[in-house]
Structure 1
Amino acid sequence: MPYLLNNSQNSNPPGSPRSKWLTVSYQPVSLFTLKRSDATSKAARSNLVPTPYAIKMALLKALLESQGKHHQNDFEIWIKSEFTWIRDLQIYLLPPEQLVVNRNGYKLRYYDQTTDKADKNRSTVPMLEGFVFREWIHLQGELKICAGECDKLTQLTQLFAQINYFGKKGCFFQFLPDATQQTDTPTFTPNPSNSFTVQPMDDLGKKTTFNRINPFSNEKAQIDKDRIIEPGFLPLQLRSTSARYDFYQRY
């Protein structure tokens, strides 16, 4: 998902009928990690930046927490409409200026889920020991997110302002209200000549429904239908690498 900054466009005043795209900025305030879709429970590489799927799920979480209690009597109708416009957003990301990926190995004790299915007549050891592999990313600079086309930019801005983490809980980001822009075209657009790093980008399928991604529903989401994974290209160059870290710099 490569990008080209568009500095020639004019920003429209908030509420302008031409404004269809919203650009917001976040300042990372802690390490970031978000397991890739092809990761396992014991060996998990991290995405370098949040994916469109993670961003839309964060928007949905903010929507439900702030407005869900007001729609107890018409929840099904309300969430169908709200979920549709969030699902259909097109998301572009501009990474921070520098990223350092730290690779770590941990020795953990974890619960053996097969214990529940084991023979009850023999002794079992429900707690096992093992090594896990994780990546934590230090982001230096601002993370920019451009979302559109949408006619609910005021509501979208309010939802973004309520988000304080992406990825794993504890990966905090500070919303920067003064850096918010409403424009009639994206503030940055794909530019294949400046893409050096590939990252799988998962997103919501065009026809998926709220019940498919709702963990409390009996309906199950399907890969390549309700959750699609496509290669994304980031304008990042690998400047230095070793067995313990990777250093990227934005082009």
Structure 2
Amino acid sequence: MQTLLPTLLLQINYLGKRGGFLQIMGQPQSSRELPAGHFIQLTATALQDFETTGTLQMLDDCGPSLTFAKANIYDASTRIVLHKDRVLRHIVLPYQLIRSSRSYSWYQRTGEMETVER
């Protein structure tokens, strides 16, 4: 399965949210450690540094009490409780809006801003 996974990941280009298009820039590789400075810890217990020019984003997360049975949208007898089963996380993504129109928004990582001609 480990050799099949990178090939399968290359086939994904949409994550299920309107505007959730993504483009993989290279063959996915396995690593035991995360590259420094490239990830935001969503479940951190302490405050983290963030880019002041970044983009504020609210993300949905699953709480520790959420089960597959509770998440079943076809079962009217169960309910997901906000702040218990469903946790909202506010993060600042290190991306800044460059251009947008009615049909697209172009964001660029903040450390790469000097390469953009406006």
* Residues 1:212 and 2:70 are matched in the alignment: yes
> Aligned pairs, how many?
96
- 1:221 CA displacement: 1.0
Which residue number corresponds to residue 29 of structure 2? 181
Q: Any residues of structure 2 matched to 1:98-137 within 5 Å, and which? A: none
Which residue number corresponds to residue 192 of structure 1? 49
Larger Rg: 1
Question: What TM-score do the two structures reach when normalised by structure 2?
Answer: 0.56
Distance 1:165 1:213, change over 3 A: same
Distance 1:210 1:245, change over 3 A: closer
Gap runs ≥5 in structure 2: 41-47, 111-118
Match of 2:95 among 219, 236, 246: 236
Q: Secondary structure at the match of 2:60?
A: strand
Q: Secondary structure at the match of 2:69?
A: helix
Read off the aligned partner of 1:226 and give its amino acid letter.
D
- Higher-RCO chain (CA-CA 8 Å, sequence separation at least 6): 1
Gap runs ≥5 in structure 1: 1-152
Q: Does the CA-based 8 Å contact 2:50-2:92 persist in structure 1?
A: no
Q: CA RMSD in A?
A: 3.9
Inter-partner Cα distance in structure 1 for 2:93 and 2:85: 24
Distance 1:200 1:185, change over 3 A: same
| Cα deviation 1:213-236 (Å, max 9, x = unaligned) | 111223111111111111011011
- 1:204 CA displacement: 1.1
Question: What TM-score do the two structures reach when normalised by structure 1?
Answer: 0.30
Inter-partner Cα distance in structure 1 for 2:98 and 2:55: 12
| Cα deviation 1:63-108 (Å, max 9, x = unaligned) | xxxxxxxxxxxxxxxxxxxxxxxxxxxxxxxxxxxxxxxxxxxxxx
Which residue number corresponds to residue 84 of structure 2? 225
Read off the aligned partner of 1:189 and give its amino acid letter.
F
Q: Considering fraction of residues, name the structure with more helix.
A: 1
Distance 1:220 1:168, change over 3 A: same
Inter-partner Cα distance in structure 2 for 1:247 and 1:171: 13
